[in-house]
Amino acid sequence: MGEMSSFQLGVIGALFLSVASSVSIVICNKALMSNLGFPFATTLTSWHLMVTFCTLHAAQRFNLFENKSIDMKTVMLFGILNGVSIGLLNLSLGFNSIGFYQMTKLAIIPFTVLLETVFLKKQFSQKIRLSLFVLLVGVGIASITDLQLNLVGTILSLLAIITTCVGQILTNTIQKRLNVSSTQLLYQSAPFQAAILFVSGPLVDQCLTKQNVFAYKYSPIVLAFIILSCVISVSVNFSTFLVIGKTSPVTYQVLGHLKTCLVLGFGYTLLHDPFTDRNIIGILIAIFGMGLYSYFCTQENKKKQADPLASQMKDKDATPFLAMEKEGHEVKKSDKDSLV
């Protein structure tokens, strides 16, 4: 029981760190890109990953965590896939309207459920599906404003959805099957993610903004915000791997939509963004959906603990926010909340 309580406290801490760091970096990046005119999101992401790797390397040298060797081919393909996913999400944001981009983000949850059902043989109860549906409806009402379609943008969005879902499923699967922690996996894969974005980032950003990141005039205030963004990104990247490893890709996406609601709220209170009754209604519905998701998952976990034999026969995705079973070891063209 003590070990289970310790694990649950660790999960709660991981969820809190993920929400706090993600909301913080969205506000920082929005000020950097919207107010200070630094639009190079993909290049900024490559810097985030390089700083993350350097920080973890220093921590490893000071023996703050133990490095564990992972098959080079596996970690290389995993890192490249995640780097490509980030680049495609940025391109999707650049080639689509805000509404269609939000639809792309919403589509990640059902597509993840589909992939896990087909390939990993996971079973999702009707109650879990209902709670996810309520959540998606709420986020859609709160965030989607228009749905302008174009062929290139649609293809990019589909590719972004596929690579994001596969990357997050692999994040969870690798940690569990290879018995590696989130820190160990992030440490080994970050250089490959950073490398592919460092090479492609300036090209992607020039395609989207018609500006050259190397010709940009960096003022002291811009440099200060870039440094702050990179520092926060260490927590964002670490907590992403930590949450997916301890919970599931679907729970991480649910948490991501909670961040969207919080970003809308903070944007209204701190940055004075426009806020309507529709936003408020959508956020309330989304929060209700997240509450249902957590409640139903908690109930299913209790049933699993009461009947462990049945839980082995049916592998359901029951990963609530505040009561999870122990399964593993561990930027609107101005709103870059998913491009971290």
Q: Are 243 and 15 in contact (CB under 8 A)?
A: yes
Which tops the pLDDT comparison, 302 or 175?
Answer: 175
CA–CA separation, 139 vs 137, rounded Å? 6
The DSSP symbol for 276 reads -
Q: How far apart are CA 146 and CA 241, in angstroms?
A: 32
**Which DSSP symbol is given to 32?**
I
Query: Tens digits of per-residue pLDDT, 26-76?
Result: 788 888 988 889 999 999 999 999 999 999 999 999 888 888 888 999 999
pLDDT, tens only, 171-210:
989 998 989 988 999 999 999 999 999 999 999 999 888 9
Average of pLDDT values for 103-132? 88
H or E element that contains 47? helix 41-61
**177 HSE (CA, 13 A, CB side):** 10
Q: Which of 179, 272, 241, 207 is nearest to 14 (CA)?
A: 241
Would you say residue 330 has pLDDT above 70? no
Nearest alpha-carbon partner for 13 in 189, 217, 193, 239: 239
Spell out the residues 6+ positions from residue 23 whose beta carbon is closer than 8 angstroms to its own. 259, 262, 263, 266
**Which residues are 123's β-sheet partners?**
316
Largest CA-CA distance found in the chain, in angstroms, rounded: 63
pLDDT band at 218, cuts 50/70/90?
A: very high
pTM of the entire structure?
0.76
Radius of gyration of the chain (CA): 20
Tokens 């985030």, residue located: 48
Q: What single letter denotes the amino acid at residue 169?
A: I
Mean pLDDT within 212-226: 94
Angle at 242 between CA 138 and CA 291, to 5 degrees: 30
Looking at residue 275, its pLDDT comes to 66
Of 14-23, 27-36, 248-257, which one has max mean pLDDT? 27-36
Summarize pLDDT for 146-182 with one digit per residue, the tens.
Answer: 667 678 888 999 999 999 999 999 998 999 898 998 8
The Cα–Cα gap between 29 and 145 comes to 22
What average pLDDT does range 304-325 have in this prediction?
50
In whole angstroms, give the CA distance from residue 243 to residue 11. Answer: 7
Tokens read off for 68: 């564990």
Angle between helices 41-61 and 220-246 (to 10 degrees): 70
